[in-house]
């Protein structure tokens, strides 16, 4: 899967968020570190979502944009 992320340079390094996953954000001292960290955050976010719907009836849909 591909997700759009927003990367901002700060006084402490880089902040990165994934607008498509509300509340999913991370940071790093360098741009590559911040991007690595957001990958981990996205994986953990999606794992938490999967756990939250265990036992529920779910469907997958494909949306062309």
Residue 23 lies in a domain: yes
- In DSSP terms, 6 is beta-bridged to 17
Asked whether the whole model's pTM tops 0.85, one would answer yes
48: domain CATH number is 3.30.160.250
Q: Evaluate whether residue 22 is within a structural domain.
A: yes
Transcribe 14-53 into DSSP letters.
EEEE-TTSTT-EEEESSHHHHHHHHHHHHHHHHHHHHHHT
User: From the CB of residue 41, how many other CB atoms can be counted at a distance below 10 Å?
Assistant: 20
What integer best gives the mean pLDDT of the chain? 96
Total domains present in the chain:
1
Query: Using one digit for the tens of pLDDT, what is the confidence trace for 21-49?
Result: 999 999 999 999 999 999 999 999 999 99
Predicted confidence at residue 1, as pLDDT, reads 86
Range of the domain at 33: 6-52
Non-local (6+) Cβ contacts of 26 within 8 A are 15, 16, 17, 34, 37, 38, 40, 41
């Amino acid at each position: 899967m591909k997700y759009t992320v927003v990367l901002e340079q700060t006084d402490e390094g880089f902040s990165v968020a994934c607008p498509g996953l509300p509340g999913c954000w991370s940071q790093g001292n360098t741009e590559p570190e911040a991007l690595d960290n957001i990958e981990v955050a996205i994986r953990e976010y999606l794992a938490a979502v999967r756990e939250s719907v265990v036992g529920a009836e779910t469907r997958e849909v494909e949306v062309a944009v």
